[in-house]
Structure 1
Amino acid sequence: MRPDARALLLALLLDLALGEPPERAHPVVWTGRLVSLLERKAPSGPRAALLWGALLAAAAALLPALAAAAALRLPLPRLPAEAFLLKCCLSCRALEEAALGVARPLEAGDLERAREALRSLVSRDRSALDASLAASAAVESLAENLGDALVAPLLFYAAGGLPAAALHRGANTADAMVGYRGRYERLGKAAARLDDALNLLPARLAALLLAAASGGRAREAWRAALAGHRATQSPNAGWPIAAAAGSLGLVLRKPGHYALGAPGREPAAGDIRRAVSLYRRAAALGALGALLLCRLRGGRR
């Protein structure tokens, strides 16, 4: 299914102007409810959990793709319908707002409120984070989600149209909900591996975009990405996080896991705003590239 450059542009404008739609109208929320339902019905045995997890991952990816393809065949105005559904596959404004929601209380010296605001960005334990680690977590999440929530859906849309973008967003939603070690070690393995595979290229493109958006520090950003991308457990997260660290001249750390960007300094509250500015520039470059890909593929109908 061919992409449409006009639908992509309108989706981006909808995101910037309105942010996320209400939960009752958000397809990603519906996918999350499906994942929750399948998670509750998961069998307890190790092998059965692995098999059920594979079913869960397949359902979370394929059903949104099929639904998107079906929606485009409904007797609805094609351009606004496609733009709305594509907007639901990506997120830019909401990530910026979430990051700034951490920056403001940190700048006011309210660490507890900043930790609470981090709930929308990270799943790690926030209770012991000091101000610098809280700022680091916000910058890391913003950088990583450039790939997951913007570059990947744009790339999949340009390559395979709306169903491809919906497939990626469904797989990413499943990974975000159950793709963890510990409680979901077996149930979430398939979702985690599928998400890793789908984001191999987008994560590296996100690192390139962050480097390109870094101006005079582009070389430092790319060197940091090359040097530090293996430090994270994820095969993808290290690329954009390390690139952001090099671009901003920071050490971004998750205690007990990694420290990316040495010999940079520890981040402060104001660095979250610097990261948001970097994110905006990189996102603009990514959007421009996706629009060009759509036009090259003859996607303007």
Structure 2
Amino acid sequence: MRKGTSAALGLVIGFGLDRVVGDPRRWHPVAGFGSAAIALEKRTYADSRTAGVVHEAIAVGSVVALGALAARGGLVSTALATWTVLGGRSLAKTGHAMADRLESGDLAGARELLPSLCGRDPSVLGADGLARAALESIAENTSDATVAPLVWGALAGVPGLLGYRAINTLDAMIGYRNDRYENFGWAAARVDDVANLAPARLTGFLTATLAPLVGGTFAESLTAWRRDAGNHPSPNAGVVEASMAGALGVQLGGRTQYRHGVELRPVLGDGPPPQVADLRRAVRMSEAVQVAALGVAVAAQLASGAPFWRDARRRRG
């Protein structure tokens, strides 16, 4: 079997495992990486950007090196790595569970579930606020949890899959602007921004293309993206949230309550604030975008024949 075909099949099998099985319930490698990163931070931490760069290089570099060794396992390694780093099924499942609780009026249960999606303060949110928070998180995590890993898997095989997940996990751990991580977490946040530039824009394009599936149009989604995304503080979250808002015909952003305080986020899209029914539409859109992203990744893999890092090594040899 050609390497490109094997890698493409590995992506498909890994995607299927995520859809059928979901995240591993015990001994999840991402959780293991998080524990290792915490232990490493105890040795590398200092209130400086240089220390943060060293921390990022060691943590991510180690995972990429491990991925390069694991890649020798071919199809099996690619399938297992893909399954490990994807989180699409869990994202959709949580989105549906949030909608179920909101529809039944179980605000306490919805508030309890929200931290698994985002870092906002659920205690101050009503039903509409919870729906908006969940919807915005689903939009952003469609890119982070599925599209981006598939893009990096197509570009760089197993090292790309594992390396991206390490980058994204570190950003979630230390990429904050607070007293402890303002400097130390700078590298983690910037590297994550760069790693997500292409995936976020692919997510935005696929969202606009598939907008008719949820009653929207390509033009409305693209308009919201072009007009509003640049106002968002994140170069990537703005793209995926604005394109989702346009596709659904709702308005996202505005006053956003986090545990550390209130932020006034830019308005994204036109229309009314999202309702529970819009949250279910967002989940459907997320699942459609994930499948489309798999198709793009597989097509790219078949066209290239092999991850580019392997081709480059062959040319140097």
Q: Which amino acid aligns with 1:246?
A: G
Q: Which amino acid aligns with 2:189?
A: A
Match of 1:144 in 2: 140
8 Å Cα contact 1:196-1:236 kept in structure 2: yes
Q: Does 1:153 align with 2:153?
A: no
Give the distance between the partners of 2:59 and 2:176, measured in 1 at CA. 16
Match of 1:172 in 2: 168
Match of 2:129 in 1: 133
Match of 2:96 in 1: 100
Give the distance between the partners of 1:152 and 1:184, measured in 2 at CA. 24
Deviation at 1:268, TM superposition (A): 1.3
8 Å Cα contact 1:229-1:238 kept in structure 2: yes
Match for 1:291 among 292, 295, 298? Answer: 298
Q: Does 1:236 align with 2:236?
A: yes
Match for 1:4 among 7, 22, 34? Answer: 7
Which runs of 5 or more residues in structure 2 are unaligned? Answer: 256-262, 308-317
1:18-46 CA-to-partner distances (Å, cap 9, x unmatched) read 0001331x2211211122223344545x3
8 Å Cα contact 1:224-1:260 kept in structure 2: no
Give the distance between the partners of 1:159 and 1:175, measured in 2 at CA. 21
Match of 2:226 in 1: 226
Q: CA-atom RMSD, angstroms? A: 1.9
Match for 2:198 among 194, 197, 201? Answer: 201
Q: Structure 2 length as normaliser, TM-score?
A: 0.87
Match of 2:41 in 1: 39
1:75-133 CA-to-partner distances (Å, cap 9, x unmatched) read x6x42232011221222101101212211111111212111101111012222112111
Q: 1:253 to 1:118 in 2, by over 3 A?
A: same
8 Å Cα contact 1:179-1:189 kept in structure 2: yes
Give the distance between the partners of 2:25 and 2:254, measured in 1 at CA. 33
Deviation at 1:243, TM superposition (A): 0.5
Match of 1:91 in 2: 87
8 Å Cα contact 1:148-1:199 kept in structure 2: yes
Match of 2:52 in 1: 53
8 Å Cα contact 1:53-1:188 kept in structure 2: yes
Deviation at 1:274, TM superposition (A): 0.7
Match of 1:162 in 2: 158
Give the distance between the partners of 1:61 and 1:42, measured in 2 at CA. 14
8 Å Cα contact 1:251-1:259 kept in structure 2: no
Q: Which amino acid aligns with 1:190?
A: A
Q: Which amino acid aligns with 1:147?
A: S
8 Å Cα contact 1:250-1:266 kept in structure 2: yes
Percent identity reads 37
Give the distance between the partners of 1:286 and 1:262, measured in 2 at CA. 23
Match for 1:277 among 280, 284, 289? Answer: 284
How many residues are paired up? 293
Match of 2:63 in 1: 64
Q: Which amino acid aligns with 1:247?
A: A
Q: Structure 1 length as normaliser, TM-score?
A: 0.91
Q: Which amino acid aligns with 1:33?
A: S
| 2:121 alignment partner, SS class | coil
8 Å Cα contact 1:151-1:206 kept in structure 2: yes
Give the distance between the partners of 1:33 and 1:63, measured in 2 at CA. 14
Match of 2:249 in 1: 249
Match for 1:181 among 177, 181, 185? Answer: 177
Match of 1:109 in 2: 105
Deviation at 1:299, TM superposition (A): 4.1
8 Å Cα contact 1:137-1:254 kept in structure 2: no
Deviation at 1:262, TM superposition (A): 4.1
8 Å Cα contact 1:212-1:282 kept in structure 2: no
8 Å Cα contact 1:135-1:272 kept in structure 2: yes
Give the distance between the partners of 2:183 and 2:23, measured in 1 at CA. 32
1:23-77 CA-to-partner distances (Å, cap 9, x unmatched) read 31x2211211122223344545x33xx222112212232111111211233xx6x
Deviation at 1:136, TM superposition (A): 0.8
Q: 1:67 to 1:133 in 2, by over 3 A?
A: same
Give the distance between the partners of 2:266 and 2:252, measured in 1 at CA. 6
1:137-166 CA-to-partner distances (Å, cap 9, x unmatched) read 111111111211111111111111110121
Q: Which amino acid aligns with 2:68?
A: A
